[in-house]
Amino acid sequence: MTATPASPDLKAKHRAMWGLGNYARVADELIPELGQVLVEACEIGSGDRVLDIAAGTGNAAIPAALAGAEVTASDLSPELLEIGQAHAVEAGADSLTWRVADAEALPFDDAAFDVVMSCVGIMFAPFHEKAAAELVRVVRPGGRIGLVSWTPEGFIGQMFATMKPFMAPPPEGAQPPPRWGDETHVRGLLGDQVTSVRAEKRMVDIDSFETGAEFRDFFKACYGPTIVAYRGIADDETRTAELDAALAELGDRYVTAGVMKWEYLLLTAVRS
């Protein structure tokens, strides 16, 4: 499939979506350990030139910097980067470089980095082939690539499937974010431009919600895509009630003794 260039309007919508709510709470309270998992999988250390694509508030970029790397954190949303800068200073990683950048059109030279990574970030770029091509382009031959992505069959993948009937259709050529959690799909995106691919499905335990309704209400308040889904049906009480019920029921299916298990794919590779 050939990627369709994203319109400025689409990029503006994506940028605005991630500025809604409070994504920092999602990253900081629910999944803070995923960044360290990715840094360790990429074997990041002193002197490595690292790019974190769709870095958000820096949950992978900051531990990479603390490991001694020279890190650039890029994201489409300046609001998230501003929060990340404050987090970095608090953590003692104030040497980080923060750059507003589109994952599908990165403003960096070819082979500029030793490591290129993304922690549940690049998966939200709508045109997967273009984002993958940019990811590979900016890492040097022999450099490492590392990705953490929610799987289609895991909880977050199922959340997006639950919300899909309530949302506007995606633009032509766009692909669902959780496909980055499908090993076969990612291998196809990277193709023969990489070697030494390693992929492993893992779980992160979430102990913040006792019920599905608690999860739903948190995401309605904090998570941009969920907020957008509700805004699109705000004038339809019936549809809103249906989405409320569907998300609460999904959450209840995954809560066991106050713990939810969210599945993700950890994938690393070496640039050919």
Per-residue pLDDT tens digits of the chain, which is 272 residues long: 344 455 789 999 999 999 999 999 999 999 999 999 999 999 999 999 999 999 999 999 999 999 999 999 999 999 999 999 999 999 999 889 999 999 999 999 999 999 999 999 999 999 999 999 999 999 999 999 999 999 999 999 999 999 999 999 999 999 999 999 999 999 999 999 999 999 999 999 999 999 999 999 999 999 999 999 999 999 999 999 999 999 999 999 999 999 999 999 999 999 99
Contact 62, 91 (CB under 8 A): yes
The pLDDT score that the predictor gives to residue 5 is 52
pTM above 0.75, yes or no: yes
At 6 the pLDDT is 59
Check if the beta carbon of residue 118 is closer than 8 Å to that of residue 226.
no
Sequential DSSP letters for 211-222: SHHHHHHHHHHH
Distance CA 128, CA 191 (A): 13
CATH code assigned to 8-207+262-271: 3.40.50.150
Per-residue pLDDT at 94 = 87
The reported pLDDT for the residue numbered 8 is 85
- Cα–Cα dist 71/49, whole Å: 6
pLDDT of the residue at 2: 40
**Residue ranges per structural domain of the chain:** 8-207+262-271
Using CA atoms, how far residue 84 sits from 56, 90, 99, in Å, is 7, 10, 11
